[in-house]
C-alpha cells in the first residue's frame, strides 16, 4: 500500500502493562476512504488498540502513525490538533447529559471555532437532519432511546468534518431497526464524505455487510486480516471459530484454572 | 500506619498538588469565558444560599444565647454584639460555611464529575480535542473559590442578625450598645481575616471536590467513595488550615 493511501499505520506495535502483554507484534495499515473492522473475542485488546490509535496511551514497543504523524512525538497540543481531524463514536454515545441534543452537536464547533450563531445553527441542523433527528434537537439525552443517542453522537462526531471516524461497538445493544439505521449511516458517511471508518465490533454478520477489510485479533496478536470473503474462507481454527460463533474451538470456554478435582475435592 | 500507606498518602498528595497546578494554570482560559464561570457560581454559590442562610441564622441565635449567658456572669452583656460579630467574622462564618459547602456543593461537584467520567463523557471530550480539566474542572474550581467568601459574608451577616434577635429582642440587651460596641471594636483586619480564611477554604474545598471526582473509579461504588472522601478530606483540610491561618493572622 502506498503511504498516501494509508491513514494509520501500526509498525510492530506492542503494549505491556503491569508485566502483562496485552498486544504484541501488531503490523498493519488502515486504508484511506475504506471501512476497516477490528474484530476479536472479548478481552483480546481491541479497546487497548483503539486507545493506541487515538493517542490515549503510548505503545511500549513499535510505532503508531496517524495521518502521517508519529503519535509518540506529539505533545498535548499536537495530539489535540490531530484529534480535531478524527471523530469517535463511543459505545453508549457519551453525550453530555446537561446539554440538549442541539448543544451536544454544537459543542465541538463552540469549543474550536468562533462561528456566528446562524452558521452554527445551519451546520448543526444539517448534521442532525443527516441522522434523521432534526426534530429531536431540543430533547435532552435522557429522553432519547439507545439508538437515537448513538445517532446524535454520530452527528456530533462528524460535525467538524473529520478524516477518520472511529466507532467503538456501534451495534451493541441495538434493536434490529436501530441497528439497520446505524449501519446505513456508517456506510453513507463513508461513501458520501469519503471518511475513513474504523469499526470495532463483535458482530460478524453485520460487519460482513459493512467492512471492506477485516482485522481479526486474538490473544493480543493479529490472527488474520483481509476481505470478509477471504476471512470467511480462512482455514485457521481461531478464525473459523470466531466467524462461525462456535463455543468449541481453540478459544477456550473456561478461564484458566487449577485442575477441577483439586478445586472441588481439595485433593491433588 | 505502615510504610506503604505513608507512601500511598504522600503520592496522592503529590498528585493533588500537580492537579492543583493544572487547575490554576487553566484559570486564565476560564476567565475569558465568563459564562462558564457564572454558571458554576450559580450552581455552587446561589444554590447553597438557603442552607447557608438558615444555618447562619441558627448559629447566630445560639451565639446570642450562649454569649448572653457568659457575659452576664461578668456583667458585660452590652458586649454581646462585639462577641457575636468577632466570632462570626473571624471564625464561625468561614469555617461553618466551608463545612456546609463541602457537604452541599463539594459532593455535587465530585459526583457530577465522577459520573461524567464513568459514562465516558470526559473521554469523549478529550477525543474532541477539548481538555476536560479546562472545560469541566477549572470552572467548577473557580466557581467555588468565588462563591465561598460571598457565602461566608452572608452567613456572618445573617448570624449577627440572629444574635441581635436573641440578645436585643428576647434577652433585653440595649440595642444602641449592641451596635455601637460592635462598630467600635470590629476592625478591618477582623474582616480581612475572615476573607482570607474563606478564600483559602474555597481553594481547598473546590480543589478537593474536583480532584476526587476526576480521579474516581468509574463505577457506582467508586463515585460513592469519592464523594465520601470529598466530605472527609475537605472537613479535615478546613480545620487544619483554620488552625494554621489563625496562628499566622492573630
pLDDT at residue A266, as a whole number: 74
Residue B222's pLDDT band (boundaries 50, 70, 90)? Answer: very high
Cβ contact, residue pair A97, B127, below 8 Å = no
CB-CB under 8 Å, A96 with B121? yes
Establish whether this prediction's ipTM goes over 0.90: no
Q: Could you write out the DSSP letters of every residue in A226-267?
A: E-HHHHHT---HHHHHHHHT-SSSSS-SSPP-S-HHHHHH--
CA-based R_g, chain A, Å = 20
- The two beta strands, A61-66 and A6-17, are antiparallel
Count contacts between A and B (CB, < 8 Å).
50
CA distances from A13 to A24, A35, A130, B174 (A): 6, 21, 37, 83
At A22 the pLDDT is: 87
Mutation for testing the B interface, residue in A47, A52, A80, A91 having most B CBs under 10 Å: A80
Average pLDDT of the segment spanning A60-78: 89
pLDDT band at A236 (very low <50, low <70, confident <90, very high): confident
Closest-CA residue to A173 (of A155, A148, A153): A148
What does the alpha-carbon distance between residue B14 and residue B211 come to, in Å, rounded to a whole number? Answer: 12
Q: Can you name the residues that pair with A14 across neighbouring β-strands?
A: A61
- How many residues comprise chain A? 268
Element (H, E) at A30: strand A20-31
CB contact under 8 A, A94 and B123: yes
Q: What angle do CA A252, A254, A260 make, to 5 degrees?
A: 130
Report the share of chain A in percent with pLDDT over 90.
27
Best probe of the A interface among B114, B129, B132, by most A CBs < 10 A, is B129
Interface of A to B at Cβ within 8 Å reads 54, 56, 76, 80-81, 83-84, 86-88, 90-92, 94-97, 107-108, 111-112, 153, 156, 160
Q: What are B152-196's pLDDT values in tens digits?
A: 999 999 999 999 999 999 998 999 999 999 999 999 999 999 999
Residues 123-142 of B with CB under 8 A from A: 123-131, 135
pLDDT at A253: 66
Write down the residue that cell numbers 483540610 correspond to.
Answer: B237
Rounded-to-integer distance, Cα A36 and Cα A100, Å: 32
Query: Which residues are registered as beta bridge partners of B130?
Result: none
**Average pLDDT for chain A:** 86
pLDDT for the residue numbered B125 = 93
- Tell me: pLDDT of B148 over 90: yes
Q: Residue B1 pLDDT > 70, yes or no?
A: no
* Burial category of A142 from C-beta neighbours within 10 Å (exposed 0-12, middle 13-18, buried 19 and up): exposed
Interatomic CA distance for residues B195 and B199, integer angstroms: 6
Question: Does B91 contact chain A (CB < 8 Å)?
Answer: no
C-beta neighbour count of A257 within 10 angstroms: 8
B13: which strand partners?
none
Q: Can you give the pLDDT at residue A3?
A: 64
Query: Is the predicted pLDDT of residue B4 greater than 60, yes or no?
Result: yes
Q: Do A90 and B130 lie within an 8 Å CB cutoff?
A: no
Q: Which residue has the cell 457565602?
A: B151
Q: Which of B25, B47, B53 has the alpha carbon at shortest distance from B141?
A: B25
Is the Cβ pair A94, B119 closer than 8 Å?
yes
When mean pLDDT is compared across A54-58, A248-252, B81-85, the lowest value belongs to A248-252
Q: pTM to 2 decimals?
A: 0.86
- Whether A191 has a pLDDT exceeding 90, the answer reads no
Chain A environment of B128 (Cβ under 8 Å)? 83, 107-108, 111, 156, 160
Q: Is the pLDDT confidence value at A248 over 80?
A: no
**Tens digit of pLDDT for each residue in A120-156?**
999 999 999 988 889 998 999 999 988 889 889 999 9
- Choose the closest CB to B124 out of A76, A86, A94: A94
In chain B, which residue's Cα lies nearest the Cα of A161? B128
Q: Which residue has the higher pLDDT, A8 or A247?
A: A8
Considering only A106-110, A226-230, B222-226, which range has the smallest mean pLDDT? A226-230
How close A19 gets to chain B, by Cα (Å)? 21
Strand positions, DSSP E, B125-180: none
Residues of chain B found within 8 Å of residue A83, distances taken between Cβ atoms: 126-129
| H/E stretch holding A173 | none
A chain contacts of residue B123, beta-carbon cutoff 8 Å: 56, 90, 94
Please, what's the largest Cα pairwise distance for chain A? 76
d(CA A185, CA A169): 14
- Confidence (pLDDT) at B10: 93
Integer Cα distance of B243 and B238 in angstroms: 9
CA pair distance B83, B223, nearest whole angstrom: 42
Residue B108: its pLDDT value, please? 95
The residue among B243 and A251 whose pLDDT is bigger is: B243
Secondary structure class of B219 (helix, strand, coil): coil
Helix axes B107-118, B220-249, angle to 10 degrees: 140
The predicted model gives A15-41 an average pLDDT of 87
Residue A267: its pLDDT value, please? 61
Q: Which residues 135-174 in chain B show a CB within 8 A of chain A?
A: 135
Q: Model confidence over A202-227: pLDDT tens digits?
A: 888 888 888 889 888 888 888 888 88
Give pLDDT, residue A68.
87
Partner-chain residue, chosen from A81, A88, A91, that has the shortest CB–CB distance to B127: A88
Look at residue B59 and tell me whether its pLDDT is greater than 80: yes
Q: For residue A36, how many C-alpha atoms fall within 13 Å in the half-sphere facing its CB?
A: 23
Q: How far apart are CA B203 and CA B98, in angstroms?
A: 10
For A94, which of B121, B129, B135 is closest by C-beta distance?
B121
CB contact under 8 A, A95 and B126: no
Cβ within 8 Å, pair A83-B120: no
Cβ contact, residue pair B127, A107, below 8 Å = no
Look at B123 and A56 and tell me if their CB atoms are within 8 Å: yes
Residue of A111, A159, A161 for testing the chain B interface, max B β-carbons within 10 Å: A111
Mean pLDDT of A74-81: 90
Amino acid at each position: 500500500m502506498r503511504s498516501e493511501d494509508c491513514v494509520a499505520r501500526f509498525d510492530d506495535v506492542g503494549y505491556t502493562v503491569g508485566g502483562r502483554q496485552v498486544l504484541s507484534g501488531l503490523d498493519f495499515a488502515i486504508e484511506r476512504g475504506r471501512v476497516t473492522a477490528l474484530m476479536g473475542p472479548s478481552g483480546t485488546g481491541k479497546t487497548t488498540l483503539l486507545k493506541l490509535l487515538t493517542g490515549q496511551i503510548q505503545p511500549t514497543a513499535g510505532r503508531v502513525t496517524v495521518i502521517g504523524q508519529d503519535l509518540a512525538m506529539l505533545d498535548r497540543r499536537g495530539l489535540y490538533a490531530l484529534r480535531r481531524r478524527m471523530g469517535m463514536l463511543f459505545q453508549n454515545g457519551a453525550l453530555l447529559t446537561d446539554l440538549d441534543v442541539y448543544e451536544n452537536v454544537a459543542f465541538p464547533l463552540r469549543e474550536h471555532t468562533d462561528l456566528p450563531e446562524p452558521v452554527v445553527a445551519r451546520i448543526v441542523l444539517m448534521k442532525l437532519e443527516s441522522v434523521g433527528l432534526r426534530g429531536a434537537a431540543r430533547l435532552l439525552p435522557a429522553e432519547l432511546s439507545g439508538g437515537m443517542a448513538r445517532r446524535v453522537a454520530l452527528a456530533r462526531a462528524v460535525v467538524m468534518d473529520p478524516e477518520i471516524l472511529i466507532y467503538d461497538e456501534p451495534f451493541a445493544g441495538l434493536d434490529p431497526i436501530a441497528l439497520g439505521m446505524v449501519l446505513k449511516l456508517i456506510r453513507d458517511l463513508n461513501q458520501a464524505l469519503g471518511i475513513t471508518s474504523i469499526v470495532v465490533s463483535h458482530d460478524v454478520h453485520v460487519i460482513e455487510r459493512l467492512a471492506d477489510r477485516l482485522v481479526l485479533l486474538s490473544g493480543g496478536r493479529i490472527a488474520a486480516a483481509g476481505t470478509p470473503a477471504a476471512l470467511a474462507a480462512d482455514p485457521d481454527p481461531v478464525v473459523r471459530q470466531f466467524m462461525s460463533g462456535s463455543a468449541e474451538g481453540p478459544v477456550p470456554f473456561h478461564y484458566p484454572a487449577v485442575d477441577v478435582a483439586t478445586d472441588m475435592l481439595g485433593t491433588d | 500506619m505502615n510504610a506503604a500507606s505513608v507512601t500511598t498518602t504522600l503520592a496522592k498528595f503529590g498528585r493533588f498538588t500537580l492537579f492543583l497546578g493544572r487547575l490554576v494554570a487553566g484559570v486564565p482560559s476560564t476567565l475569558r469565558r465568563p459564562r462558564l464561570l457564572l454558571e458554576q457560581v450559580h450552581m455552587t454559590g446561589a444554590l447553597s444560599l438557603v442552607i447557608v442562610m438558615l444555618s447562619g441564622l441558627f448559629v447566630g441565635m445560639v451565639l446570642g444565647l450562649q454569649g448572653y449567658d457568659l457575659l452576664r456572669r461578668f456583667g458585660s452583656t452590652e458586649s454581646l454584639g462585639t462577641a457575636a460579630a468577632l466570632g462570626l467574622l473571624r471564625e464561625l462564618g468561614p469555617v461553618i460555611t466551608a463545612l456546609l459547602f463541602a457537604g452541599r456543593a463539594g459532593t455535587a461537584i465530585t459526583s457530577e464529575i465522577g459520573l461524567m467520567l464513568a459514562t465516558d463523557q470526559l473521554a469523549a471530550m478529550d477525543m474532541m480535542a477539548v481538555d476536560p480539566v479546562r472545560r469541566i474542572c477549572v470552572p467548577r474550581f473557580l466557581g467555588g473559590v468565588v462563591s465561598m467568601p460571598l457565602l461566608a459574608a452572608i452567613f456572618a451577616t445573617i448570624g449577627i442578625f440572629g444574635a441581635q434577635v436573641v440578645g436585643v429582642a428576647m434577652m433585653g440587651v440595649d440595642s444602641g450598645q449592641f451596635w455601637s460596641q460592635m462598630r467600635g471594636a470590629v476592625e478591618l483586619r477582623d474582616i480581612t481575616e475572615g476573607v482570607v480564611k474563606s478564600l483559602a477554604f474555597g481553594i481547598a474545598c473546590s480543589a478537593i471536590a474536583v480532584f476526587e471526582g476526576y480521579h474516581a473509579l468509574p463505577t457506582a461504588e467508586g463515585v460513592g467513595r469519592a464523594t465520601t472522601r470529598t466530605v472527609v478530606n475537605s472537613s479535615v483540610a478546613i480545620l487544619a488550615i483554620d488552625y494554621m491561618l489563625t496562628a499566622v493572622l492573630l
